[in-house]
Amino acid sequence: MSTPQGPSLRELAVQALSSVPRGYDLLAPKFDHTPFRTPDSVLDATADALRPFGPFARGLDVCCGTGAGLRVLGALCRERVLGADFSHGMLVRAKQAHPEAGLVRADARALPFTGAFDLAVSFGATGHFLPAERPALFTAVRRALRRGGLFAFPIGAPPPIASGRYWAMLGFDLAMRVRNAVWRPPFVMYYSTWPLRAVRDDLEAAGFGVTTVPLTALGRRPDGSPRCRLVLARSM
């Protein structure tokens, strides 16, 4: 699951029994050696899909972690790029990897920006937001964007019900629900809580116009549909 430089099973267990920001503080030094860091293939496919919508001046990576999305923004934005995350440990690592970027410790549901960015991206963090939290998240991102600005994030197609991946995801979410029913603080991370239709509805309710583009470089499902789409939400 992770490389020899990655966290041990014990370290992962301690992380999973912490709050989300504390868990990422603990994981930060080894995060880039885990499968939780967004792979370069996804970052590159996203950058390629966004390029025709540019050029962009200022970009924001929401839930930047160690800075995976800052690389995408660096390739697309002419002026300033900034990452926001609520884990101090992850921000320290992001600063080491991207000294040119601005970094701000902030909760994505209450970003301290108004009309400041042309482009916002987010990778690998959707599962940390319950459906009921999406309105606050989307409202905060929309406020951070200038009018007409773009919020982009990849979203995977649900795996077919007959696949092992479907049952693995279901099992993970079930284990997480049990963990959160019996243990405090909660660690919110679910794989199946962001279906595209509901996400689109919530984005539109927050004032975005929504389209998607297939990220075909990331492959297709047996029925020919793309494994992954990039959601493009334009602030209206």
Q: Does 85 bind ligand SAM (CB under 6 A)?
A: yes
The correct pick among 45, 47, 50, 63 for binding ligand SAM (CB under 6 A) is 63
Residue 15 binds ligand SAM, judged by CB under 6 A: no
176 is a contact residue toward ligand SAM (CB under 6 A): no
Of 39 and 148, CB closest to ligand SAM: 39
Interface mask (CB under 6 A) for ligand SAM, residues 113-142, using x and -?
----------xxx--x--------------
In angstroms, what is the minimal distance from the CB of 224 to ligand SAM?
27
Q: Is residue 48 near ligand SAM by the rule CB under 6 A?
A: no
C-alpha to C-alpha distance for 85 and 122, rounded to whole angstroms: 11
Which residues on neighbouring strands pair with residue 234, listed in sequence order? Answer: 150, 209
Is residue 90 a contact residue for ligand SAM (CB under 6 A)? yes
Assess 12 for contact with ligand SAM (CB under 6 A). Answer: no
Q: Which residue is nearest to ligand SAM (CB)?
A: 65
Burial class (CB in 10 A: 0-12, 13-18, 19+), 146: middle
Q: Of 62-70, 72-80, 96-104, 190-198, which segment contacts ligand SAM by CB under 6 A?
A: 62-70
User: Considering the rule CB under 6 A, would residue 81 count as an interface residue with ligand SAM?
Assistant: no
Give the count of residues interacting with ligand SAM (CB under 6 A).
22
Q: Which residues bind ligand SAM (CB under 6 A)?
A: 20-21, 24, 36-38, 63-65, 68-69, 85-87, 90, 107-109, 123-125, 128
